[in-house]
Structure 1
Amino acid sequence: MKKMFKILGFLLVGIILALGCLAAWVGFSDLPEYPVQNLDIKLPSDSISLARGRGIVENTCAHCHRGEDGKLSGRLFLPETEGFGEIWSGNLTRHPTLGLGRYQDGEIAYLLRTGIKRDKKMAGPFMMYPNLSDEDVAAIIAYLRSDAPSVQASAVKRVSKYSFLAKALIKFGAFKPLTYNNQPVLAPPKSDLVAYGRYLATAVYECSSCHSANFETYAVLEPEKSPGFFAGGNKIADHEFNYTTSRNITPHPEQGIGKWTETQFQMAVRAGIRPDGTILSVAMPRIPLSDEELSAIWAYLQTVPALETTVEK
């Protein structure tokens, strides 16, 4: 019996030591590194492409990267109270050492595709746009290289401080970048209203990521496979970290927007006003999309399965 207790004691000590070593590895070793590529990319210089890049950057990227100086210098993305540490979005200005000025064009393209920065570290699970067309990726980078006020060099330097939990999730692969597949990505023609609307809603403006059930279960490569696709229920924070729940925007007549008109939908997106006159949470950005874009998104949403998901108001 004494021998058995002795053996159990050694096993317990071994387990404790192993857990201690594992905790030390998680807490003190460097974050994983991944391969980086400088993709071959040619940037457009025509006004139409620059306007396209501006529209995507100012209506998508700026929501997370607009700093206190009014430029895309980064902001607090997650406070320590959320459990993942103090996480800051990156500086997207043209600053030569603190912003995208230190990146090659192809490195920015690779970052957008995979979520991998030029220092071989992962930018974060929200920084991956694998379904953006090659043309739109080039337009985005062209705008980021332009003389637009939002991207002029800003010397803001913020360092994210990951919690033990966040480090563990990254090191054990729960959070990981995408693999670059080196395949061309084309946008559908605008004449195909539903297909183009799908592209805008899932790849460009990412309406689907906020309006599906949860960021953690969102399928970035194949958005339609996400639980609660467009049926809402996701917890969304505004810039003051006040939380609201994303709404069901499937065509369900009671729980979704099945009784809305296209004009009412446009008013909600652009001005944040529902058909009943109530105001949407500021967590929902007011996006000045064109009639063409909104008509395409509206046409696509009519084809999404109508889910009877009741969202907490």
Structure 2
Amino acid sequence: MKKFIKIAGVGLTILALVIAGVLTWVNLSSLPTYPVQAIDIQVPKDSLSIAKGRKIAETVCAYCHRSENGVLDGRMFTKPDSDFGEIWAGNLTHHANGLNRYSDGELAYLLRTGIKRDGKFLGPFMLFPTMSDKDLGSLIAYLRSDAPSLQASEAVHTTNYSLLAKALMKFGALKPMTYEGKAVEAPSNTNKVAYGRYLATSNYMCYECHSGSFETNDVLVPENSVRYFGGGSPVDDMDFNIITSPNLTPHPEHGIGQWTYEQFKMAVTSGIRPDGRALSTAMPRFALLDDAELDAIWAYLKTVPPLGPVTAKAEN
């Protein structure tokens, strides 16, 4: 018996040393790197395309990248004690610390895959693998423009990933998207439902917050996401208060099935609920969307299968 206890003790000690060694390796070794590519992307110069790019940037990118001074030079969007650590949005301004480091092709590759120009993975943020080539080019065109919010800022931010985030990256649970090199086109806006799906899943990424969990979202086939548009994901507001994302399916009681189009439009563009209350700041105000886009998204949401209540109270 004593011999068994001694052997077991030695085994447990070895196991503890192995675990400690793995944790030390995860915490202290460099994050994995991936091949970098500058892809062929047409970046337009006309004012209409730049305006389209501004709409995408101000609607999607600015929420995380706009600092208190109104410039897109980044802000902290997860606190140090979060599951993934202290994560900062990058500097998008015309500075050597910002997007001036990237060629158009490198920036397009980053937005498609999440791979930065140094080969490191940005993380599961700001990925647009299904945005059309045309809209991606328009977004880059705006980011190269002389907009006031893009004027050079020297801001430099350091992201400090948690041990969990580092482990997920190093063991391949979090990894870049694969670049297929295929042309990506948007559906015609004459097909209202298809166009609305494209806007809600590829450009404005509504489903990402309004499905069940960021961990179970499917970027390439959003419909495979758990509780697709049914809400339930914990989302930080601008002050890091956590709310549960609301249900946007046409469920008559737990979703937006009894809303009118005008009520939907008011909520999306102004952040005002049908009952007059303001939505949480976790929901950006999509004030730049035009009626055609809003109508298309509304038409699409009415086709999404209705889902019942989420497990926690949501702010609809």
Q: With the length of structure 2 as denominator, give the TM-score of the two structures.
A: 0.95
2:151 maps to what in 1?
A: 152
Separation in 1, partners of 2:7, 2:56: 63
1:301 maps to what in 2?
A: 301
Unaligned runs of 5+ in 2: none
1:123-142 to 2 correspondences below 5 Å: 123-142=122-141
2:51 maps to what in 1?
A: 51
Unaligned runs of 5+ in 1: none
1:282 maps to what in 2?
A: 281
1:216 maps to what in 2?
A: 215
What displacement does 1:278 show?
A: 1.8
What displacement does 1:11 show?
A: 2.4
**Does the 8 A contact of 2:35 with 2:119 survive in 1?**
yes
2:238 maps to what in 1?
A: 239
Separation in 1, partners of 2:309, 2:4: 56
1:92 maps to what in 2?
A: 92
Separation in 2, partners of 1:57, 1:85: 25
| 1:177 pairs with 2:176 | yes
Separation in 2, partners of 1:291, 1:12: 65
1:71-110 to 2 correspondences below 5 Å: 71-96=71-96, 98-110=97-109
2:16 maps to what in 1?
A: 16
Separation in 2, partners of 1:33, 1:308: 42
Partner AA of 1:276 in structure 2: D
2:256 maps to what in 1?
A: 257
What displacement does 1:295 show?
A: 0.4
Separation in 1, partners of 2:85, 2:234: 18
1:59-74 to 2 correspondences below 5 Å: 59-74=59-74
1:33 maps to what in 2?
A: 33
What displacement does 1:2 show?
A: 5.1
Separation in 2, partners of 1:106, 1:273: 39
State the secondary structure of the residue aligned to 1:54. helix
What displacement does 1:6 show?
A: 4.4
**Does the 8 A contact of 2:249 with 2:301 survive in 1?**
yes
2:161 maps to what in 1?
A: 162
Partner AA of 1:86 in structure 2: E
- Give per-residue Cα distances to partners, 1:80-103, cap 9 Å, x unaligned: 12132211111111112x101011
Partner AA of 1:114 in structure 2: T
**Does the 8 A contact of 2:42 with 2:134 survive in 1?**
no
Separation in 2, partners of 1:133, 1:272: 28
Separation in 2, partners of 1:163, 1:235: 18
Separation in 2, partners of 1:251, 1:83: 32
Separation in 2, partners of 1:268, 1:5: 66
1:271 maps to what in 2?
A: 270
Partner AA of 1:89 in structure 2: A
Separation in 2, partners of 1:81, 1:14: 31
What displacement does 1:13 show?
A: 2.9
- Give per-residue Cα distances to partners, 1:26-73, cap 9 Å, x unaligned: 111001111110111221011111110010001110011101221110
What displacement does 1:117 show?
A: 0.5
Partner AA of 2:188 in structure 1: P
1:292 maps to what in 2?
A: 292
Separation in 2, partners of 1:300, 1:84: 33
Q: Which of structure 1's runs of 4+ aligned residues deviate more than 2 A?
A: 1-14
Q: Percent identity?
A: 57
**Does the 8 A contact of 2:59 with 2:204 survive in 1?**
yes
What displacement does 1:3 show?
A: 4.7
Separation in 2, partners of 1:213, 1:42: 35
